[in-house]
Amino acid sequence: TGAISSLQRQMEIQESELRRIRSEKELLQKQLREREVQLQAVSDKFCSLTEEQRQEEAVVMMEEENQNLQQVVTEQEFQLAEQNKLISELQGTISQLQAEVVTTRLHLLEQKQAQKETQSQFEALQHTELQTRVALELISSKFERYRNKIIQATFSVEGIQDPQGELTDDEVLEAMQKIFNERTEFQQMLKNKSSR
């Protein structure tokens, strides 16, 4: 937004300069027309003189006026050419600034769109995280209930001492393995007895 404001200010300055130069150009053209009017007045004055006076006066005055007018015309043509060149440059600068404003606005729109997409992805991730936490808590709760049932079943077997304090998973496994081994040995003893 700051870049757009800066570009717009530059564009306004350039347009103001362009208006000033066009105004100067119009002034020079007006002065040129005034000179032409003056020349016409001199020509009209010569018409009222006698032929001989007219010719003499005309030669002197026309030479002077021609020199003056030629100089003025040359200067004004040069100034007009310079101003036309400057106008062209200013118009080019204004066009470039307008293009930069458009590009900057497009860039801002792209950034806003990217920000919206990122926000949407972030919200989706938050939702997924929440679902995962709920599922994890549910699984943890089920696992804890299952573990407690295993501990209860394991230590309710005759001959297994009650646990002292909190049990680790390895201790539960060791107790279960002990029960399994004892039952395996007992089954083997029964087989041996029945075979005898």
pLDDT for the residue numbered 70: 81
Q: How far apart are CA 134 and CA 122, in angstroms?
A: 18
pLDDT for the residue numbered 157: 67
**Mean pLDDT score, 88-108:** 89
Same domain, 109 and 144: no
Domain that holds residue 190: 125-195
Last residue within a domain, chosen from 97, 118, 139? 118
Same domain, 161 and 135: yes
pLDDT for the residue numbered 7: 78
Q: Report percent pLDDT > 90 for the chain.
A: 20
Place of tokens 């100067």: 24
- What residues contact residue 172 under an 8 Å CB cut-off, 6+ apart? 147, 150, 151, 154
More confident residue, 171 or 126: 126
Same domain, 109 and 15: yes
Confidence of residue 46 (pLDDT cuts 50, 70, 90): low
**Is the pLDDT at 131 greater than 90, yes or no?**
yes
**Burial status of residue 6 (CB atoms within 10 A of its CB: 0-12, 13-18, 19 or more):** middle
pLDDT for the residue numbered 120: 94
Same domain, 99 and 69: yes
Could you tell me which of 196, 157, 161, 164 has the C-alpha nearest to residue 180? 157
Same domain, 131 and 105: no
Same domain, 5 and 69: yes
Q: How far apart are CA 8 and CA 94, in angstroms?
A: 10
pLDDT for the residue numbered 128: 94
Same domain, 14 and 102: yes
Per-residue pLDDT reduced to its tens digit, 49-69: 666 665 777 678 778 877 887
pLDDT for the residue numbered 62: 75
Same domain, 98 and 153: no
Q: How far apart are CA 18 and CA 10, in angstroms?
A: 12
Same domain, 108 and 47: yes
**Mean pLDDT score, 84-108:** 89
The pair of three-digit structure tokens given for residue 163, joined into one six-digit string: 């646990």
Domain count for the chain, please give it: 2
Same domain, 147 and 102: no
